[in-house]
Amino acid sequence: MNHPEIKRLDAYRLEVRAGYKCGMRASAIIYADEGLERFIEPAAVEQAANTATLPGLAGSALAMPDIHTGYGFPIGGVAAFSADGGVISPGGVGYDINCGVRLLATSLEIAALRPRLESLAAALYSRVPAGLGVGGGLRLEKREQEVPLIKGAAWAVGRGLGRPEDLLYSESGGAMPGADPHAVGHHALERGRSQLGTLGSGNHFLEIQEVTDLYDEDAARVFGLFKGQVTLMLHTGSRGLGHQVCGDYIEVMRAAAQRYGIKLVDPQLAAAPFSSAEGQRYFGAMQAAANYAWANRQALTGLARETFCAALGLGEEALAMRLVYDVAHNIAKLEEHTVDGRKMKVVVHRKGATRAFGPGHPELPPAYARTGQPVIIPGDMGRCSYLLAGTQKAMRETFGSACHGAGRLMSRHEAQRRARGRDITEELAAKGVWVRSAGRATLGEEMPEAYKDVDAVVGVVAGAGIARKVARFRPLCVIKG
């Protein structure tokens, strides 16, 4: 990048110095090698710098290698703010609160399943409600609509849509304890009443995959993975409920920023002090939406298990579908980290980024204490996905964070324009990928070339040492909204 205040620190990091923009309290660090650097939008760099102007910033503002322009913060952005004197910002979380990814392993081998693969995928497509605004999931009665906002994934397990051990392998146990359903508006609650157990649209997916490569066999063994294994990857979030929570609180935060004298270089950075009434109310509502998302992914997990068993004529023991891990992105969490040599409580915003906690962290399942946290980085419909493991270096440098995916190369509008006249379904079928979507427009928006090459993105994450590669997965069947 040709700017005097942007310097390359090493092969995998760029520094946007504090002199880049008036009001920056610290630098912004962007994780990208020279190959990915040329794809970084100037507007995304501007947003990373803007993030560093907010009060109470701890360390540097960060951006992962999947960086692209978002609302307020860049997607791929990570920023931590002191819990005592710092802010919380809906734009640093995003509209799709706790849009996350979970990986499920089975006992099945692709060699045996291949003849029945399309019929299995068709069964999943027929049973999983998908598409923009689509309901048809587990409809909540008004008297119970606050329960999944408090209990999260445990609510779905209690409904028979999972097992208790699923909660052990979900980030935060599948629920954040500070949720405040009373801080969630009526319209948001109504939007969420019929969307539990639904996939949604856009980049959300349900994908049958094959394990093709193992890079760390010891960690793969701990995670229950082997070459040729059939796995299932699921990506969705809090649906309309979370979107509405974000929209509602952006307006609240704009007024609050003025009231508390917070100077905003961009109105989309609307924020309030974390300790303020507005900040705590948003945090409570965000946690409730995050818990709804965990309930949603858990409900879909139960539905997927049932469908696999019915379509293949297997019992649950024979299928042995188990949750490897569930990671959240688009979320803010109160955590303790070491900043400039001292431990402090910070509110870590991860927008299009996930945790990558290193070995020994107390929040990890005991079985993963030695390996570090599983880090799931999906690719696109036509390319591979990865499982990595978090490192101690991530704890030191990125608040225990890594990227959440490949990252878009082009806008949805541009992708649709380039897809005109093409049959994306047939193109993917020619590559051996069976794909079904609720609408043709989604396939155009989500075509492989709309995204960065996930191999290159993961190469930066691994090269920078913030996560190490464990396994690679090839898509076989993809269901989109």
Rounded Cα distance between 442 and 428, Å, is: 14
Spatial contact of 268 and 71, defined as CB atoms under 8 Å apart: yes
CA 68 to chain CA centroid, Å, is 14
Of 303, 391, 403, nearest to 68 by C-alpha is 403
How many residues comprise the chain? 481
Rounded Cα distance between 301 and 324, Å, is: 12
Rounded Cα distance between 196 and 141, Å, is: 12
Q: Which helix (H) or strand (E) holds 136?
A: none
- Three-state DSSP class for 361? coil
Residue located via tokens 């109105």 = 267
Exposure b/e, 184-218, CB count within 10 A at least 16 = b: beeebbebbbbbbbbbbbbbbbbbbbbbeebbbee
State the catalytic residue, choosing from 235, 337, 349, 404.
404
- Three-state DSSP class for 212? strand
Rounded Cα distance between 20 and 193, Å, is: 46
182 catalytic per annotation? no
Query: What are the E-state strand segments in 170-220?
Result: 205-214
Please give the positions annotated as active site: 404
